[in-house]
């Protein structure tokens, strides 16, 4: 017995030493230095994150700028440049305390003088800023480190709007925020983030270097927030438009990380011992947006017929190149990565695969084989694939589909003209709050003008009790499946690849971030 105890104690001690040793090794392994070369799909239209909703701008911009809030690992808002906030009893006044001693890349300290004009600009241009500032009656500085937001009505979206990473409320220096009108893209890029822009050679590279005076938060890294460390000296973003070349360059080591890869490269990447493919869950879900303003799809029965006819799993399997790890069957309008708003409702008419029901609905709608103009593009292979398979399934149910394949620039232009199409394909990325669902608004292409849907969206933007909001969101989800403003397909993951020398990359967050990432070469 004594011997056993003695042996256990020794083993425990050895294990502790090993664990401690491992801990030391891990901590030591996080080393500063080196250049991280990242292959991206293309050139950003701008690095002005207030101005554009382009994902590539979001990815790059989040290394340069920070907002008052950001998202934690569960996609909930947490403070970033804000120290804290208080809300008045009537919920109409938000007072934000700013962190002190935070420097911009130009050496100037960030204060309320910068925060007020930055968010005022953002509130006039950004999708999320406009939604929030529609509820704001007054926005001003109280002192150097305090700002106040007065609301016209109670709002549930103050913090989450300030935290979304896309088209986000980045804090620019006052001089830049005031120099560029909201609708004019800024051409000077100065933020408070861990990296600062060093050089931008269009179609060659965008070089960001570590901002030595960056003031990190004291907390541990948490999602897009918490303590952020720029370990690498430099991130070199290299636009490589040809996806096969991006794959080859990460294989040869010319790139340390490659984003937006085609799923058919997965098997080849898996076989390479020097790198590992990353399945980016929560990337987007596939959607057919239906034109409710004019044309065939103004008929709810026709929309319901489309929803009833499709068999989603074979479509997703095909789009994902047969790899089950790249698609998810899910009816929730907000993906599982945002757990707070992910719904699991039974009995929804999603993926019904009911051709008879579809035929009946077509008959009830008085459909006379008029061609449905379904717009897609080959620039995004997955869009074309799912449109093509949808066409086949719908035609089997009695629809006539006029598949119009155009380039992306044409699609995004034409989808704003209600006369030019009946449906179009796109992907819906991460949504962090039900009030931010663009396809349920009357201003976004497809034009969801249904009064019941609009009323519930407006109510949700005002309701601050999370439980009541969730009940409303579930009601809205049921309503969407009944009125069918859009067709919800499955979730599609993205494919990335990182060399084994790239360490610390957070694979769980849907978006690419290189803070707290280091290279071992």
Partner 1 sequence: MTTYLIRRLLTLVPVLAVVVTVVFLLIHLIPGDPVSVMLGPDATPAQIEATRRALGLDRPLHEQLFKFYARILRGDLGQSYFLDRPVVTALLERAEPTLVLTLSALFVAVVIGVPSGIIAAAYQGSLWDRALMLMSLLGVCVPGFWLSLNFIYFFAVRLGWLPAAGYASILSDPLSALRYMVLPAVSLGFNQSALIARISRSCMLEALQQDYIRTARAKGVSQRSVMWVHAFRNALVPVVTVIGITMAILIGGAVVTEIVFNIPGLGRLIISAVLRRDYPVVQGVILVTATAYVLINLGVDVLYVFIDPRIRYG
Contact characters 387-406, partner 1, x per CB under 8 A: -------------------x
Which residue reads 């720029």 in tokens? Answer: 230
Our finding on whether 412 is near partner 1 (CB under 8 A) is: yes
Our finding on whether 267 is near partner 1 (CB under 8 A) is: no
Helices (H), 274-311: 300-309
Instruction: In angstroms, give the least distance from the CB of 148 to partner 1.
Output: 27
Our finding on whether 380 is near partner 1 (CB under 8 A) is: no
Rounded Cα gap, residues 409 and 418, in angstroms: 16
Which C-beta is closer to partner 1: that of 147 or that of 269? 269
- Which helix (H) or strand (E) is 205 found in, with range? strand 205-210
Number of residues forming the site for partner 1 (CB under 8 A): 49
Which C-beta is closer to partner 1: that of 249 or that of 476? 249
Our finding on whether 92 is near partner 1 (CB under 8 A) is: no
Our finding on whether 72 is near partner 1 (CB under 8 A) is: no
Rounded Cα gap, residues 206 and 236, in angstroms: 6
Our finding on whether 413 is near partner 1 (CB under 8 A) is: yes
Which C-beta is closer to partner 1: that of 78 or that of 240? 240
Considering only CA atoms, which of 515, 520, 518 is closest in space to residue 193?
515
Rounded Cα gap, residues 51 and 511, in angstroms: 19
Burial 240-251 (b: 16+ CB within 10 A, else e): beebeebbbbbb
Our finding on whether 254 is near partner 1 (CB under 8 A) is: yes
Which C-beta is closer to partner 1: that of 47 or that of 484? 47
In terms of Cβ atoms closer than 10 Å to its own Cβ (0-12, 13-18, 19+), residue 18 is: exposed
Quick one: which of 238, 283, 299, 332 contacts partner 1 (CB under 8 A)?
238
- Sequence length of the chain is 521
Under 8 Å between Cβ of 231 and 520:
no
Rounded Cα gap, residues 20 and 307, in angstroms: 56
Instruction: In angstroms, give the least distance from the CB of 249 to partner 1.
Output: 5
Q: How far is CA 335 from the centre of its chain?
A: 11
Our finding on whether 444 is near partner 1 (CB under 8 A) is: yes
Instruction: In angstroms, give the least distance from the CB of 205 to partner 1.
Output: 9
Quick one: which of 234, 379, 474, 506 contacts partner 1 (CB under 8 A)?
379
Which C-beta is closer to partner 1: that of 118 or that of 426? 426
Our finding on whether 443 is near partner 1 (CB under 8 A) is: yes
Our finding on whether 294 is near partner 1 (CB under 8 A) is: no
Quick one: which of 248, 348, 403, 454 contacts partner 1 (CB under 8 A)?
248
Contact characters 185-214, partner 1, x per CB under 8 A: x-x-------------xxxx----------
Which C-beta is closer to partner 1: that of 166 or that of 457? 166
Contact characters 104-143, partner 1, x per CB under 8 A: ---------------------x-x----------------
Our finding on whether 339 is near partner 1 (CB under 8 A) is: no
**Which 24-53 positions form the footprint of partner 1 (CB under 8 A)?**
42-43, 45-46, 51-53
Our finding on whether 271 is near partner 1 (CB under 8 A) is: no
Rounded Cα gap, residues 163 and 429, in angstroms: 16
Rounded Cα gap, residues 387 and 288, in angstroms: 8
Quick one: which of 242, 294, 370, 507 contacts partner 1 (CB under 8 A)?
242
Catalogue the long-range contacts made by 17-26 (C-beta closer than 8 Å, 24 or more residues apart). none
Rounded Cα gap, residues 482 and 301, in angstroms: 10
Rounded Cα gap, residues 218 and 99, in angstroms: 12
Q: How many CB atoms lie within 10 A of CB 494?
A: 20
Instruction: In angstroms, give the least distance from the CB of 140 to partner 1.
Output: 25
Rounded Cα gap, residues 233 and 207, in angstroms: 10
Q: Is 210 helix (H, G, I), strand (E, B) or coil?
A: strand
Which C-beta is closer to partner 1: that of 199 or that of 313? 199
Which C-beta is closer to partner 1: that of 379 or that of 506? 379
Under 8 Å between Cβ of 342 and 268:
no
Which C-beta is closer to partner 1: that of 127 or that of 365? 127
DSSP state of 516: T
Q: How far is CA 22 from the centre of its chain?
A: 35
Quick one: CA dihedral 183, 188, 194, 195, positive or negative? positive
Rounded Cα gap, residues 138 and 150, in angstroms: 5
Our finding on whether 274 is near partner 1 (CB under 8 A) is: no
Please report, as ranges, the residues that interact with partner 1 according to CB under 8 A: 42-43, 45-46, 51-55, 57, 125, 127, 166-167, 181, 183-185, 187, 201-204, 238, 240-242, 244-245, 248-249, 251-252, 254, 379, 406-410, 412-414, 416, 426, 438, 443-445
């Amino acid at each position: 017995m004594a011997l056993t105890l003695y042996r256990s104690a020794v083993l425990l001690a050895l294990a502790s030493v090993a664990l401690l040793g491992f801990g030391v090794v891990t901590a030591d392994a996080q080393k500063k230095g080196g250049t991280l070369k990242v292959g991206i799909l293309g050139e950003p239209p701008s690095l002005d994150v207030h101005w554009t909703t382009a994902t590539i701008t979001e990815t790059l911009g989040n290394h340069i700028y920070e907002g008052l809030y950001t998202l934690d690992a569960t996609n909930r808002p947490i403070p970033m440049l804000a120290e804290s906030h208080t809300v008045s009893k009537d919920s109409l006044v938000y007072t934000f305390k700013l962190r002190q001693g935070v420097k911009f890349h130009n050496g100037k300290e960030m204060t309320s003088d910068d925060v007020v004009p930055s968010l005022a600009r953002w509130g006039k241009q950004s999708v999320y800023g406009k939604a929030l500032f529609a509820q704001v009656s007054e926005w001003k500085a109280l002192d150097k480190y305090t700002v106040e937001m007065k609301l016209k009505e109670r709002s549930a979206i103050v913090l989450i709007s300030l935290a979304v990473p896309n088209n986000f409320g980045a804090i620019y220096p006052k001089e830049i925020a005031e120099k560029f009108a909201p609708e004019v893209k800024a051409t000077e890029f100065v933020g408070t983030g861990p990296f600062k822009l060093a050089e931008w050679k269009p179609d060659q590279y965008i070089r960001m270097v570590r901002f030595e005076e960056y003031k990190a938060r004291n907390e541990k890294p948490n999602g897009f927030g918490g303590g952020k460390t720029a370990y690498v000296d430099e991130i070199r973003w290299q636009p490589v438009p040809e996806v096969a070349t991006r794959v080859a360059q990460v294989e040869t080591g010319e790139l340390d990380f490659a984003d937006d890869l085609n799923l058919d490269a997965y098997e080849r990447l898996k076989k390479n011992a020097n790198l590992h493919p990353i399945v980016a869950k929560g990337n987007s879900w596939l959607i057919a947006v239906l034109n409710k303003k004019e044309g065939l799809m103004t008929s709810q029965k026709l929309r319901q017929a489309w929803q009833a006819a499709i068999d989603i799993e074979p479509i997703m399997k095909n789009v994902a190149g047969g790899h089950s790890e790249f698609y998810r069957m899910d009816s929730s309008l907000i993906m599982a990565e945002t757990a707070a708003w992910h719904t699991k409702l039974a009995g929804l008419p999603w993926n019904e695969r009911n051709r008879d029901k579809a035929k009946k609905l077509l008959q009830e709608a008085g459909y006379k084989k008029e061609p449905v103009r379904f717009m897609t593009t080959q620039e995004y292979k997955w869009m074309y694939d799912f449109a093509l398979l949808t066409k086949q399934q719908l035609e089997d149910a009695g629809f006539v589909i006029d598949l119009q394949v155009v380039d992306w620039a044409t699609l995004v232009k034409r989808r704003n003209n209600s006369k030019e199409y009946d449906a179009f394909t796109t992907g819906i990325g991460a949504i962090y709050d039900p009030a931010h669902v663009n396809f349920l608004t009357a201003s976004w292409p497809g034009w969801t003008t249904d009064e019941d849907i609009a009323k519930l969206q407006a109510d949700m933007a005002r309701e601050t009790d999370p439980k009541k909001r969730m009940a409303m969101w579930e009601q809205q989800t049921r309503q969407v499946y009944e009125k069918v403003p859009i067709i919800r397909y499955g979730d599609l993951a993205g494919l990335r690849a990182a060399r084994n020398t790239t360490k610390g990359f957070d694979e769980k967050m849907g978006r690419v971030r290189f803070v707290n990432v280091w290279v071992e070469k």
